[in-house]
């Protein structure tokens, strides 16, 4: 059902990206009220915000006096999202100022408040901003970590606005679960794999699978916004935006993925193996493109087994080689068959793989792959089992990260 969302827009170059965010919310059926600051209107005109939201747009407190807009908009909102939140806006919000409609609205909001900062790296790292962010978090707001990358001009570094789709996904998560983004993973290092490996046959062909990477990316996104230092080993998930604040490592085949995990696992506290890793690869990889020939018949492809990365991490830890790695999470996409149902096969897989948690999805009939919603179970090594209710992959990710955080706390 549609919710009431206030989108605050502060005066930064990333203000244009707020348009895509507003669009995402209205397309999801929400009622959006846009409140720009006066300086935001230097970047995007009020007419654009009015057209996108279908609602009037004002910046000051001396409009809509009979409706007491500066109090009502905050009181009635289900969610307030400020994107971009500039250094100045964060400072005014942290101080509890109410000198325009947006800051007044922030003071009257009872709902979850999400700030998506965007500014130059120096401003983001300045102790004043660091303090303001800490203050806002202490007050209960969610302040996203910005993405790193190219800023205005030639500058690079943390300070980029996370992609609108990413902000929208985290906003939807807060609408579903107001307490879904606590900063409980500060100082933890998580290694996450996502996507589907490709096993080359020749320079243009490969054996692959249908994994989109969405679930693993969502886990990375949520863990990073809960304070973890996240490295995402991504394999062929090019359709997805890099999650903000996450270090990316790109690989192609199962062997490359295995090498990257072997290199990074020793310094990680948790390993989350969401990637769909090919079990087999072709024995021969042709250097040049294979030709079909004039009248040749297709020949078989000889395969050899790939290393099991998850099982390898479990046994390396058992041998004492990974003293820091305390949580290992596996994924299983299962179908029922004549031998048993999905859970029967999943329990057997948990026992076989020896990981601490197995995230189980039922697949087949268009379920799971490439979809935005999912459902399943969490199976723990101690025999505990919990249902993952049907929800977005971001909601599932937040439950998976809950499990990791719980196990890290011991
Ligand atoms: N996995 C892995 N290395 C492989 C294959 C799988 O690390 N070579 C990991 C996956 O990332 C996932 C888990 O193992 O976390 C389960 O993957 P799945 O393909 O279901 O496991 P398999 O052992 O291949 O089971 P099955 O016999 O059902 O194919």
Q: What is the DSSP string of 123-173?
A: HHHSHHHHHHHHHHHHTT-EEPPPEEEE-STT-EEEEEPPPHHHHHHHHHH
Q: What is the pLDDT of residue 291?
A: 85
Q: What is the pLDDT of residue 125?
A: 96
With the most atoms of ligand 1 within 8 angstroms of its CB, the residue from 281, 310, 335 to mutate is 310
Q: What is the pLDDT of residue 152?
A: 74
Residue 275 CA: which ligand 1 atom is closest? 11
Q: If you take atom 12 of ligand 1, which residue's CA is the nearest one?
A: 331
First vs last Cα of the chain: how many Å apart? 38
The mean pLDDT of 6-27, rounded to a whole number, is 98
Residue 290, pLDDT above cutoff 70: yes
For residue 277 and ligand 1, the question of a CB distance below 6 A is answered with yes
Residue 254 CA: which ligand 1 atom is closest? 8
The class that CATH gives domain 4-176 is: alpha beta
Tell me the chain's radius of gyration from C-alpha atoms: 24
| Residue 156 pLDDT class (50, 70, 90 cuts) | confident
**In this predicted structure, which of 55-59, 63-67, 276-280, 338-342 has the lowest mean pLDDT?**
63-67
Residue carrying structure tokens 């006066």: 38
Cβ atoms of 185 and 265 closer than 8 Å: no
Q: Between 78 and 156, where is the model more confident? A: 78
For residue 279 and ligand 1, the question of a CB distance below 6 A is answered with yes
For residue 330 and ligand 1, the question of a CB distance below 6 A is answered with yes
For residue 32 and ligand 1, the question of a CB distance below 6 A is answered with no
Whether residue 307 is annotated as binding a ligand: the answer is yes
Candidate CATH numbers 3.40.50.300, 3.40.50.10300, 3.40.50.410, 1.10.10.10; the one for domain 189-409: 3.40.50.10300
Q: What is the pTM of this model?
A: 0.95
Same fold, 4-176 and 189-409: yes
Percent helix, percent strand, percent coil in the chain, to nearest 5: 35, 25, 40
Whether residue 3 is annotated as binding a ligand: the answer is no
Where along the chain do its domains lie? Answer: 4-176, 189-409
């Amino acid at each position: 059902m549609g919710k009431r969302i206030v989108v605050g827009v502060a005066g930064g170059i990333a203000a244009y990206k707020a348009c895509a965010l507003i669009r995402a919310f209205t397309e999801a059926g929400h009622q959006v009220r846009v409140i720009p600051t006066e300086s935001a209107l230097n970047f995007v005109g009020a007419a654009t915000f009015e057209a996108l939201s279908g609602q009037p747009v004002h910046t000051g407190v001396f409009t809509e006096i009979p409706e007491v807009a500066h109090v009502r908009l905050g009181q009635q909102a289900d969610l307030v999202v400020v994107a971009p939140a500039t250094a100045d806006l964060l400072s005014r919000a942290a101080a509890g100022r109410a000198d325009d409609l947006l800051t007044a609205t922030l003071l009257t909001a009872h709902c979850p408040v999400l700030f998506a900062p965007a500014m130059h790296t120096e401003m983001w790292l300045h102790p004043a901003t660091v303090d303001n962010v800490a203050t806002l978090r202490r007050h209960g707001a969610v302040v996203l970590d910005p993405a790193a990358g190219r800023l205005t001009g030639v500058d690079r570094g943390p300070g980029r606005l996370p992609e609108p789709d990413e902000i929208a996904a985290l906003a939807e998560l807060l609408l579903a679960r107001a307490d879904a983004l606590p900063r409980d993973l500060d100082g933890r290092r998580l290694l996450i794999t996502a996507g589907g490996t490709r096993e080359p046959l020749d320079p243009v062909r490969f054996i692959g699978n249908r994994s989109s990477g969405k679930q693993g990316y969502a886990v990375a996104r949520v863990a990073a916004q809960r304070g973890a230092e996240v490295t995402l080993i991504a394999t062929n998930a090019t359709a997805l935006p890099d999650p903000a604040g996450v270090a990316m490592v790109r690989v192609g085949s199962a062997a490359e993925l295995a090498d990257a995990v072997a290199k990074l696992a020793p310094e990680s506290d948790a390993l989350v193996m969401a990637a769909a890793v090919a079990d087999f690869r072709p024995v021969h990889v042709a250097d040049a493109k294979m030709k079909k020939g004039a009248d040749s018949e297709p020949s078989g492809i000889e395969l050899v087994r790939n290393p099991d990365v998850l099982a390898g991490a479990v046994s390396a830890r058992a041998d004492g080689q990974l003293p820091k790695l305390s949580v290992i999470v596996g994924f299983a996409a299962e179908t029922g068959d004549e031998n048993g149902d999905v859970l029967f096969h999943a329990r057997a897989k948990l026992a076989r793989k020896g990981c601490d948690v197995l995230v189980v999805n039922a697949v087949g009939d268009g379920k799971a792959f490439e979809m935005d919603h999912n459902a399943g179970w969490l199976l723990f090594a101690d025999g505990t089992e919990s249902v993952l209710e049907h929800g977005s992959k971001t909601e599932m990710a937040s439950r998976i990260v809950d499990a990791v955080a719980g196990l890290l706390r011991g």
